[in-house]
C-alpha cells in the first residue's frame, strides 16, 4: 500500500511512524509511506497556506491553491483522497478495514479553522474524524489512521490471525488475556485456560468477550453469531 500525507508539520511524523509494526511494514515493502510539506506547494516568498475567512470570523482558513496543486501532483486515478477533519466519518475498525483494501491513500491534514470548502467539494473522496474532540491539527489523526490500517495489511503482524481476535474486529471487545506465572500475588489464572481443551477455551473466550462488551461497551454491535441465532428463532 502507498500512503501519502500532506501536512504543515512533517516533523511530527518522525518517531511514531519509524517504530514497531509500521517500521517493519515499511522495511518489508508492505507500506510505502511518504510525508509531504504543504508549504512546498506555495509560490510566494512567505509560503502562505492560509488566509482570513470571507464574511469575517475568527482564525484562518487553508487556501485552495496549494492543496489543489499538491493533490493534483501526488494523486492518480487509484488514489483515495481523504481529509482529516472533525466533520468526517468517525473512524472505527470497519473503516480501517475498508481503507486497508485500497492501493493508494492521500491523507490531507487540516489545520487552523479548516479547509476552503472548494477543497471538500472538488478534491476529496472522503473525510475522517477520530473522535468528537478538538486537536491542534490533523497530523495525529493521520497517524492513528495509518497505524490502524497498517496492522491490517497482509503480513504486517507476522501472524494475520492476530488482528482477527483483537477488540472491535468482530463487534466485541477482546477476551481477558493471561500469561505466566499461573499465580501472582494470590491472583490465579482461570482454570479453563490451563485445561488444554482448546474447544472449551474458545467457548470460554467468546463468552468472556460477550460479557466484557456488554458491561464496558454496550454501544458496540456485539457478537454477530448471537444476532443470527435471534433471527433464526
Contact of 15 with 143, CB cutoff 8 Å:
no
Report pLDDT for 78.
Answer: 97
Q: Does 167 have pLDDT greater than 80?
A: no
pTM for the whole thing? 0.88
65-77: per-residue pLDDT in tens?
999 999 999 999 9
C-alpha separations of 3 from 56, 79, 150 in Å: 36, 9, 10
Q: Do 175 and 70 share a structural domain?
A: no
Q: In this structure, are residues 36 and 3 in contact, taking their beta carbons and an 8 Å threshold?
A: no
Together in a domain, 22 and 106: yes
CATH number for 8: 3.40.1280.10
- Number of domains making up the chain: 2
My answer on whether 120 and 211 are in the same domain is no
Residue given cell 504486517 in the structure block: 156
User: For residue range 183-226, what is the model confidence (pLDDT) as tens digits?
Assistant: 999 999 999 999 999 999 999 999 999 999 999 999 998 876 66
Q: How far does CA 22 lie from the centroid of its chain?
A: 12
Amino acid at each position: 500500500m502507498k500512503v501519502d500525507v500532506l501536512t504543515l508539520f512533517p516533523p511530527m511524523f518522525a518517531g511514531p511512524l519509524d517504530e514497531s509494526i509500521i517500521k517493519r511494514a515499511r522495511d518489508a515493502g508492505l507500506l510505502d509511506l511518504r510525508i509531504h510539506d504543504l508549504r512546498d506547494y506555495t509560490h510566494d516568498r512567505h509560503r502562505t497556506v492560509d488566509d482570513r475567512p470571507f464574511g469575517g470570523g475568527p482564525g484562518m482558513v487553508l487556501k485552495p491553491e496549494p492543496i489543489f496543486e499538491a493533490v493534483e501532483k501526488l494523486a492518480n486515478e487509484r488514489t483515495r483522497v481523504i481529509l482529516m477533519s472533525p466533520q468526517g466519518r468517525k473512524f472505527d475498525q470497519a473503516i480501517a478495514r475498508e481503507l486497508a483494501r485500497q492501493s493508494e491513500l492521500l491523507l490531507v491534514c487540516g489545520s487552523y479553522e479548516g479547509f476552503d470548502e472548494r477543497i471538500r467539494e472538488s478534491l476529496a473522496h472522503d473525510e475522517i474524524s477520530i473522535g468528537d474532540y478538538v486537536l491542534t491539527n490533523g497530523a495525529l489523526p493521520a497517524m492513528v489512521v495509518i497505524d490502524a490500517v497498517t496492522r491490517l495489511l497482509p503480513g504486517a503482524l507476522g501472524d494475520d490471525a492476530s488482528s482477527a481476535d483483537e477488540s472491535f474486529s468482530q463487534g466485541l471487545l477482546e477476551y481477558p488475556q493471561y500469561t505466566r506465572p499461573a499465580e501472582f500475588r494470590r491472583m490465579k489464572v482461570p482454570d479453563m485456560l490451563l485445561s488444554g481443551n482448546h474447544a472449551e477455551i474458545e467457548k470460554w473466550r467468546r463468552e468472556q468477550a460477550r460479557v466484557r462488551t456488554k458491561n464496558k461497551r454496550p454501544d458496540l454491535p456485539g457478537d454477530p453469531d448471537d444476532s443470527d441465532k435471534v433471527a433464526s428463532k
